[in-house]
Amino acid sequence: MQKLNRETVIAEALDLLDEVGLDAISTRQLAKRLGVEQPSLYWHFRKKDELLAAMAEVAMAPHAIAPLPRPSDNWREWFLDNTRSFRRTLLMRRDGARLHAGTFPGPVDIDRIMHKVAFLVASGLPEQDAKIAMLAAGRFTVGSVLEEQADAGPDGAGNSLADASPIDHASAFEEGLTLMLDGLARRINVYD
């Protein structure tokens, strides 16, 4: 048996998430998978909410280590890349959007967010608009992925609009992102 430490518990919990989904995860199941008694998990996580928060943090690592914008970057291209990176990361895990929703950024995440906001401000957006843009993009992405992951259609395209055609989630996300960027571009032009 491998040594039970915090990282092992989180890794196994994420594997369990991918297999059974967020609603079916239990500390009882996790303990069984790890070959330990359920109270052993409490050495590392006092409550299931603590475990879920740690899982969300680890699940977001691919996006959290993405390069920060450089002053020479084109703001629009960076915004697209950053938001797409967030979407890809959420899609890496079953119920990734639900796992992430409602979490709060830690100190390192806040520093990264403020760097991104400062980049947008340096690109011409007023600070409040830059903050709202980051918040809106994050919420739009989580909501889009939440709907995509909740889509129960056999081919992954079960949701449809009024015309009954299936929604292509990736295309819908890109169109929404374009609308958001077009609005931001107008804000930059207004303040130039």
Domain containing 52 equals 6-58
Query: Which residues touch 102 (CB under 8 Å, ≥6 apart)?
Result: none
pTM higher than 0.75 for the full model?
Answer: yes
Residue 11, domain CATH: 1.10.10.60
Q: CB count, 10 Å around CB of 23? A: 8
Confidence of residue 164 (pLDDT cuts 50, 70, 90): low
Bridge partners, 160 (sequence order): 166
Last residue of a domain, one of 19, 36, 58: 58
Q: Domain for residue 1, yes or no? A: no
Exposure on the CB side of residue 110, measured as CA atoms within 13 A:
5
Which residues lie closer than 8 Å to 92 by C-beta, 6 or more apart?
59, 62
10-36 pLDDT, tens digit per residue, is 999 999 999 999 999 999 999 999 999
The pair of structure tokens assigned to 174 is 């890109």
**187 against 153, higher pLDDT:** 187
Which tens digit of pLDDT belongs to each residue from 40-82?
A: 888 899 999 999 999 999 999 999 999 999 999 999 999 999 9
